[in-house]
Chain A
Amino acid sequence: MIEVKDLHKGFGDVEVLKGISTKFYPGKTNLIIGQSGSGKTVFLKSLIGLHTPEKGTISFDGRINTKFTEEEKQQWRQEIGMVFQGSALFDSQTVEDNVMFPLKMFTKKSKEEMLERVNFVLKRVKLENSNDKLPAELSGGMQKRVAIARAIVMNPKYLFCDEPNSGLDPRTAIVIDKLIQEITDEYQITTVINTHDMNSVMEIGEKIIFLNKGKKEWEGTSDDIFSTENEAVVSFVYSSNLFKKVREAHLNKTK
């Protein structure tokens, strides 16, 4: 479990995160939603240790990350998997080398053992027979799947995804969402996804927190989001006519 308490982060005079507190549970897909500029990315980067909070704590199963020794930090880093918005694959390396990279850096497995693990995770993300391809030869959806494979190759306890389906067509986006949800459930990973894709919210949002101007405005599930009266959430989530109609249909059904 990841527990965030009173998290503050700013850059110069601008306070981006203004005291966020929440919990993310294992085996669940936890979603962070909010408008552009609401602090989602800064929040996610604070969770993975790329930003140091000015105030507040983030604890990973009771371990506060700002109090780690160098050795503990190294260990903790290996418990983390991260899927970046643009996949962040090493473009000079093949799919196999990309996925094998964390294994080469942090394990003492033999080449055969590493290859076996790489093939296993590539199969898990349905990307067999792409080992020798370069990232530039793959479609956006395939690149995301390689990024997921690289993120899970070390058996992480925590998986973070920054807008994993941005730039993908709706069908591929759903495939990626479902894949993340399945992996989360299968390995009981604590998954935190940063998104503003409403399809993801409806499909896989087991826990959703809504950020607004650096504060946690609302928290609930994908079912709760249909019935919420919170104005900021309603105006953000139901900004399109399609989702307005979906909400109306859902509310009529539950009456």
Chain B
Amino acid sequence: MTYLEHIGKYFIMLGRVFKKPQRAGVFREALMKEIDDLGLKSIGIIMFISFFIGGVIALQTALNLDSPFIPDSLIGFAAKRSIILEFAPTFCCIILAGKVGSYITSSIGTMRVTEQIDALDVMGINSISHLVLPKLIATVFFYPFLIILAMFLGIFGGWIAGVLSGLFAGTDYIIGIQTDFKPFLIVYAMIKTLVFSFLIATVPSYHGYYVKGGSIAVGRASTQAVVWTTILIVIANYILTQLLLT
């Protein structure tokens, strides 16, 4: 299958995803389950990584800006910008692509190879919409909150690192994070998060839904899904940055 065929098939799949759910009650149940599986169960890892990476960003910035001509508040400013612009939306979404993407592909792929998707089709259910739409809505609505949490914890982690290491004063760091605050940068980060969330839900779903074979094929599809989601996030990041910030 050529790349062009995959792209065509992916967009045909998207066309079938956006159909009105057959039963609102069943859809609501599925949505709640997906919010739990894809969102709530990812809070722990995002909190952990954000806090420590935020600390590392602040320490690295402090170590690299070791000059009497540069005010210490610049450390907080640079750490805030790095976390809001790139670390929280892009880095966290790449982590989520690995964690959630492989889960989505393997769960849908297993349903494919064990004929559960055929069972849905025979019943007259739009299986693509039934399986993918709740995941898509769960990620697109929940991940912005997760990324905002990552921003807070990353910046907080930077402050803690500074205080504990003694490399910079906590007050200077707070002055830095308050300096030149541009709300558009949060909007930019949220736009990126929405696009990345869409990719995290749909690309692994595509790989899982069209898997052929057995358990090895499902494993291979999971790996491919994570690789392609990551590649697409990186490309989308470049395009969005070019469009929104230049």
Which of A89, A92, A105 makes the CB contact (< 8 A) with B23?
Answer: A105
A85 cross-chain contacts in B, Cβ below 8 A: 115
The reply to whether the CB of A243 lies closer than 8 angstroms to some CB of chain B is no
A73 to B116, CA, bound (A): 20
Of residues 97 through 120 on chain A, the ones whose CB sits less than 8 Å from some CB of chain B are 101-102, 104-106
A86 to B110, CA, bound (A): 12
The reply to whether the CB of B66 lies closer than 8 angstroms to some CB of chain A is no
- A88 and B115: CB pair below 8 A? yes
- B114 and A80: CB pair below 8 A? no
Given contacts A88-B114, A88-B116, contact A82 B26 (CB under 8 A): no
A190 to chain B, nearest CB (A): 15
Closest to B29 in A: A104
Which of B23, B25, B118, B125 makes the CB contact (< 8 A) with A88?
Answer: B118
A125 to chain B, nearest CB (A): 17
A91 to B119, CA, bound (A): 12
B23 cross-chain contacts in A, Cβ below 8 A: 104-105
Which of B110, B115, B123 makes the CB contact (< 8 A) with A105?
Answer: B123
B115 cross-chain contacts in A, Cβ below 8 A: 84-86, 88
Which of B110, B114, B123 makes the CB contact (< 8 A) with A102?
Answer: B123
B33 cross-chain contacts in A, Cβ below 8 A: 92
A105 cross-chain contacts in B, Cβ below 8 A: 22-23, 26, 123, 125
A99 to chain B, nearest CB (A): 12
- A50 and B118: CB pair below 8 A? yes
The reply to whether the CB of A22 lies closer than 8 angstroms to some CB of chain B is no
A86 to B118, CA, bound (A): 12
Q: How large is the interface on B (under 10, 10 to 19, 20 to 34, 35 or more residues)?
A: 10 to 19
Of residues 115 through 145 on chain B, the ones whose CB sits less than 8 Å from some CB of chain A are 115-116, 118-119, 121-125
A123 cross-chain contacts in B, Cβ below 8 A: none
Number of interface residues of A (CB under 8 A): 22
Closest to A77 in B: B124
B119 cross-chain contacts in A, Cβ below 8 A: 82, 84, 88, 90
A203 to B17, CA, bound (A): 45
Which of A77, A84, A106 makes the CB contact (< 8 A) with B118?
Answer: A84
B125 cross-chain contacts in A, Cβ below 8 A: 105
- B124 and A73: CB pair below 8 A? yes
A228 cross-chain contacts in B, Cβ below 8 A: none
A106 to B122, CA, bound (A): 13
Closest to B121 in A: A50
- B122 and A80: CB pair below 8 A? yes
Which of B110, B114, B116, B122 makes the CB contact (< 8 A) with A77?
Answer: B122
The reply to whether the CB of A66 lies closer than 8 angstroms to some CB of chain B is no
A84 cross-chain contacts in B, Cβ below 8 A: 115, 118-119
A80 to B22, CA, bound (A): 18
- B116 and A90: CB pair below 8 A? yes
Chain A 51-82 near chain B by CB (<8 Å), digits 1 or 0: 00000000000000000000001100110101
B124 to chain A, nearest CB (A): 3
Given contacts A88-B114, A88-B116, A90-B116, contact A77 B25 (CB under 8 A): no
A237 to B123, CA, bound (A): 33
B27 to chain A, nearest CB (A): 10
Of residues 1 through 53 on chain B, the ones whose CB sits less than 8 Å from some CB of chain A are 22-23, 25-26, 33
A230 to B124, CA, bound (A): 40
- A50 and B122: CB pair below 8 A? yes
B110 cross-chain contacts in A, Cβ below 8 A: 91
A23 to chain B, nearest CB (A): 22
A88 cross-chain contacts in B, Cβ below 8 A: 114-116, 118-119
The reply to whether the CB of A208 lies closer than 8 angstroms to some CB of chain B is no
A39 to chain B, nearest CB (A): 18
B118 cross-chain contacts in A, Cβ below 8 A: 50, 84, 88
A102 cross-chain contacts in B, Cβ below 8 A: 123
- A104 and B123: CB pair below 8 A? no
A–B complex contacts, Cβ < 8 Å, 11 sampled: A80-B122, A82-B119, A85-B115, A86-B115, A88-B116, A91-B114, A92-B33, A104-B25, A105-B22, A105-B123, A105-B125
Question: A105-B23, A105-B26 provided; 19 other pairs, C-beta below 8 A?
Answer: A49-B122, A50-B122, A73-B124, A74-B124, A77-B124, A78-B123, A78-B124, A80-B122, A84-B115, A85-B115, A86-B115, A88-B116, A88-B119, A90-B111, A91-B110, A92-B33, A104-B25, A105-B22, A106-B123
